[in-house]
Amino acid sequence: MVLKKYRELLKHMKFYNNLSPFPVFGTEYVEDLGNKIKEIMNDKLKDYDDESVVACKHCKSLHVVSDEIDNTICMRCGAINELQEFENIYEYQKYMKLKDE
């Protein structure tokens, strides 16, 4: 939704800047908006499957949150600062599959 509005605004600004002899909207502002759109598009293309995954050591739950003093708390079993890190989600899934066998 935000991306759609940004694109409409950019189209509007470019249209009126092309009509007038002097830019109505600042050229730096138009460039910044174009860069912001590109940045949003790059974030959407990011592959989150390659991100590292943190799970609880005890119950292997991925539902782990951090509090205001950087303690990590498992929301399933309540363990504090007991984490196991995996390279990516596929490694975690493989671990869980081996554990079940």
Closest CA to 53 of 86, 26, 99: 86
What are φ and ψ of residue 85, in 5° steps?
A: -100, 140
Top-tier CATH class for 49-100: alpha beta
The percentage of residues in the chain with a pLDDT greater than 90, rounded to a whole number, is 64
Q: Within a 10 A sphere around the Cβ of 25, how many other Cβ atoms?
A: 16
User: For the chain, what is the largest distance between any 2 Cα atoms, rounded to a whole number of angstroms?
Assistant: 73
Per-residue pLDDT at 99: 72
Per-residue pLDDT at 101: 62
Q: Is the pTM of this model over 0.85?
A: no
Across the chain, which has 101 residues, the per-10-residue mean pLDDT values are 90 92 91 91 76 91 92 92 92 85 62
